[in-house]
Amino acid sequence: MPLNLDQYVSVHATALDVRAKRGELIANNLANADTPGYQARDIDFRQAMARAAGQAPTSGVHLSTTNAGHIGGNSSADAATNPDLKYRTPLAPALDGNTVDAQVEQAAFAENAVRYQATLTFLNSKFRGLLAAITGQ
Amino acid sequence: MSSFKAFDIAGSGMAAQSVRLNTTASNLANAESVSGDKASVYKPRHPIFQAVRASLSTQPGDAQANPAVKVAGIYESQAPAVARYEPGNPLADTNGYVYAPSVNVVEEMVNMISASRSYQNNVEVMNTSKELLLATLRLGQG
């Protein structure tokens, strides 16, 4: 039985990708912590994973587009390229319209980093398993 | 490679916060720079931050596509100068007044602390991203 390497690491490779994207988003939130009117964003991880795995998420309402001129339902600027992008519900929005909560973002970034490392560990052990099988020791 | 975007983002945040630190330093240093007439007195400066709106999943190599923060400009506060009656001051006008900039020292100190904390946040983001990338590079080596 031939081993499909893509399938062997698939979930973790996808997870690593989504984690890296989420890290970028949170980095962007932290960089804009003092920008008036900036609204913090985050990824719905479950939805992003489901989409990356090729399954459309079951929840959510979409407008049907029957004509090339129609615009899809999700009107956010990045919706076309990344429909999993959401705005964070602020704990304490600032008077200038900024919804970045530095502590929340720091916590989210740390959590994301740890989970990224966990995924790396899983991948590493998979490769170790492969190596053990190849070398036969 | 998309993971390097985190460096650009954190770097832009650090650059923006250091502009803010610079303006704060300038304001604090000139808090007591009095002048003989209202027009030529130092005006406190403040940066205007602006989010760069861009999609996170655009094609690589698109230099304008990186989301980040930028300094849209630096505005000079239009708050009126504070008149002080100092007839002995050689800079005083005919009525004996000198004019001091309307720098709120407490506000500037708070700005400084906020800017340095935000800068540290961005440094942490950069450090963590670097560690994660290095760990990714070591993937499969044990």
Name the token pair of A63.
């407008």
Residues of chain B positioned with their CB less than 8 A from the CB of A37:
51
Min CA distance, A91 vs chain B (Å)?
19
Give the mean pLDDT of B14-40: 92
- Please choose, from the candidates B76, B68, B44, the residue with its C-alpha nearest in 3D space to the C-alpha of residue B126: B68
Could you tell me the pLDDT band of residue B75, with boundaries at 50, 70 and 90?
A: very high
| Domains contained in chain A, number | 1
Does residue B55 surpass a pLDDT of 80? no
Higher pLDDT, B54 or A30: A30
Tokens 């790396």 locate to: A120
Could you tell me the pLDDT band of residue B57, with boundaries at 50, 70 and 90?
A: very low
Name the token pair of B58.
């655009």
| In contact, B48 and B75? CB cutoff 8 Å | yes
Does residue B61 surpass a pLDDT of 50? no
Higher pLDDT, A58 or A107: A107
Does residue B131 surpass a pLDDT of 80? yes
User: Would you call B33 helix, strand, or coil by DSSP?
Assistant: coil
Give the mean pLDDT of B49-69: 64
Ordered DSSP codes for B80-137:
PPEEEE-TTSTT--TTSEEEE----HHHHHHHHHHHHHHHHHHHHHHHHHHHHHHHHH
Could you tell me the pLDDT band of residue A76, with boundaries at 50, 70 and 90?
A: very low
Q: Which residues of A touch B (CB under 8 A)?
A: 16, 20-21, 23-28, 30-38, 77-78, 81-82, 85, 102, 106, 109-110, 113, 116-117, 120, 123-124, 127-128
Beta A41-43 vs A85-87: how paired, if at all?
A: antiparallel
What percentage of chain B has pLDDT greater than the value 90?
Answer: 61
Domain span including residue A51: 5-135
Give the mean pLDDT of A116-121: 93
Predicted interface score ipTM higher than 0.95: no
What percentage of chain A has pLDDT greater than the value 70?
Answer: 80
